[in-house]
């Protein structure tokens, strides 16, 4: 399972697009989309080897601790919400450490972005033609 998720050649954007295609009409059957929700989600971790793990604020714990953080965009109405964009935050210490990146398999084209920069990219993303298709 770890290999499938971490090293397989599938596109998370295509998976999210397929889920959105299947689920969004069911949500909208209860009313139009009323909100976009940007969130950063901390996933507590004990070790330091998982990509992006760093001592940072973790919302699940309500304090700073070792965790991974992902920034997401969800669409919602009063009936349900659906994540439509999701990106792991790569802290600067990770982005700048070539050896650590290589060991963890972080692609070369991934660069440091702040959480607000990731959120803005998520907000701009639905304006792309493939989102509207």
Residue 56 pLDDT greater than 70, yes or no: yes
Contact between 71 and 118 (Cβ < 8 Å)? yes
pLDDT band at 86 (very low <50, low <70, confident <90, very high): very high
Nearest CA among 11, 133, 10, 31 for reference residue 75: 31
Which residue's structure tokens are 């919400």?
A: 81
The predicted model scores a pTM of: 0.83
Cα separation of 62 and 60, whole Å? 6
pLDDT in tens, 23-35: 999 999 999 999 9
Residue 92 is predicted with a pLDDT of 96
Residue 37 pLDDT greater than 70, yes or no: yes
Structure tokens at 48: 């330091």
Structure tokens at 41: 């989600």
Residue 68 has phi, psi (to 5 degrees) of -100, 150
């Amino acid at each position: 399972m770890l290999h499938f998720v971490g090293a397989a050649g599938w596109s998370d954007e295509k998976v999210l697009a397929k889920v959105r295609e299947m689920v969004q009409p069911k949500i909208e059957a209860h009313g139009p989309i009323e909100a976009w929700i940007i969130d950063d989600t901390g996933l507590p971790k004990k070790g330091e080897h998982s990509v992006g793990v760093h001592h940072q604020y973790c919302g699940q714990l309500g304090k700073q601790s070792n965790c991974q953080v992902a920034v997401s965009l969800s669409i919602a109405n009063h009936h349900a919400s659906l994540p439509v964009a999701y990106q792991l935050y790569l802290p600067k210490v990770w982005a700048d450490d070539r050896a650590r990146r290589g060991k963890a398999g972080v692609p070369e084209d991934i660069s440091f972005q702040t959480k607000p920069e990731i959120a803005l990219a998520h907000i701009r993303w639905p304006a792309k033609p493939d989102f509207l298709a």
